[in-house]
Each structure stands twice: as structure tokens, then as C-alpha cells.
Amino acid sequence: MNDDELQALIEEATADFAAGDNDPALAKLARATAAAPASFAAWHALAEVTFSLRRLDEALAAAERAHALDPADLFINTTLSRIWMERGDKPRAEHFGAQARMQGWKEQLKAPPPPPPLR
């Protein structure tokens, strides 16, 4: 599966989930993660879908795989924070929430400052 096919499959799965077609969405994400186990996007999508379905163990496993691929990603840290909060582990949730905030600040620091207002 090439990158374009993988991206299309992830997008189809996301659209299926948004339409309430959970089983086809999960099947497509399973295919995506099996075909491309190093795909951050596939694992993150699987984490979000399974979290939304309240399948916390599956969501955590998928989120941890995505995090291992890109630990500096703001969104996977946010996802992990949400999962740990739902699982009742506030210290871990706060850890990943802090990681997400730090990544957000790093992104803000990379952006050029806005131009001064015109007078």
C-alpha cells in the first residue's frame, strides 16, 4: 500500500466513523495499521475512534503505538491525556497534558511574530 492509498483508507475510515458506520471504520483502520505499522496517522486515527467508542484499552494501545512513532506530536499527547483521564489516572493524564502544552508553546515560538498594527 502506497502513502496515497493509506491516506485514502484512513480518510474513508474517518468518514465511516463520522457517519456512524463503526465496524467498517474499525476494519479499515485495522487494515491500515496492519499494512503500515509505522504510520503515525493510522495509529492515531485508531486511537481516536476507539476512544470515542469507549474502548479504552484499545484506544490506549493504539495511542501508545502512535506516541512511540512521534512522541513530540501535540495531538497524540492530548489523546493520551484524555484516555488516561477517562481511565482515572489523573497523574498520567496531567503528564501528557503538560507534554501537549509544551509542544503547543514550541509551535508558537516557531511562528514569526505578527507585524505591528498600522496606525
Residue 116 lies in a domain: no
Q: What is the mean pLDDT of residues 15-32?
A: 97
Distances (CA, A) of 16 to 38, 67, 108: 23, 24, 33
Q: How far apart are the first and last CA of the chain?
A: 55
pLDDT tens-place string over residues 50-66: 999 999 999 999 999 99
Residue 10 lies in a domain: yes
pLDDT tens-place string over residues 84-108: 999 999 999 999 998 888 888 878 7
Q: Which helix H or strand E contains 7, and what residues bound it? A: helix 3-18
Residue 40 lies in a domain: yes
Residue 118 lies in a domain: no
Residue 119 lies in a domain: no
When divided into structural domains, the chain yields a total of 1
Domain range for 89 is 3-110
Q: Which pTM does this prediction carry?
A: 0.84
Residue 97 lies in a domain: yes
CATH number of residue 47's parent domain: 1.25.40.10
